Amino acid sequence: MPTTIDILVYDGFDELDAVGPFEAFEMAADAGASLDTSLVTLSAQERVTAAHGLRIDPDGTLSVDDPPDVVVVPGGGWNDRRPEGAWAEAEKGAIPDALARLHDAGTTLAAVCTGGMLLSRAGVLSGRPAVTHGGALDDLRATDADVVDARVVDDGDVLTAGGITSGLDLALHLIERLADAETAESVATDLEYTPQRDRWVS
């Protein structure tokens, strides 16, 4: 059975937070890694509009009853408190509640940029090492998380990555974890991307 990865998108998410990891995972699958990646919403939605206007048609909805192996949570719209984005979704509460239930069910949660603040609202970062976008570090420090100065923080079943472009580093790290280092290196080569090795791993 392939490892199922759902990238959770919502109106106002940052494009690169989601599309970068999606492409890396798909390239790994093309190279033979047993990964099945989907772009999903929390509830049925025909179209999602990202922070900079990109519109996507999601593959389906996130299932808490039949949870995926990994959920990747993008950020966007947190630092300036936009009416659509991570801040708005945190205030609504539905996504944090679903993430908490998924974590309880055994799903690995991985957040890019201020997607980490949605994990924080879900209560899964309490007492755990984590990082987020530089502009939201004070918000993260105000929680019970243990803020780490690293590009990618891997605490087993919860991973966070700081900054918008860190989604590629997070994805390559996950490919190495879920497949192997050779596949991750091959994907990085094809992307013509030099991974930042600033990782904290428990």
Tell me what the mean pLDDT of segment 23-36 comes to.
98
- Long-range CB contact pairs, 191-195, < 8 A, 24+: 191/23, 191/24, 191/27, 193/168, 195/168, 195/169
Give the pLDDT band (50/70/90) at residue 197: confident
The per-residue pLDDT for 163 is 87
Give the pLDDT band (50/70/90) at residue 111: very high
Tell me what the mean pLDDT of segment 163-184 comes to.
96
Site of tokens 């991973």? 159
pTM of the model: 0.96
The per-residue pLDDT for 75 is 97
Q: What fold does the segment set 3-201 form as a domain?
A: Rossmann fold (3.40.50)
CA distance 58 to 185: 28
pLDDT in tens, 114-125: 999 999 999 999
Please check the confidence at residue 164 and state whether its pLDDT lies above 90. no
Please check the confidence at residue 64 and state whether its pLDDT lies above 90. no
Q: Where are the domains of the chain?
A: 3-201
Percent of the chain exceeding pLDDT 70 equals 100
Give the pLDDT band (50/70/90) at residue 44: very high
Please check the confidence at residue 155 and state whether its pLDDT lies above 90. yes
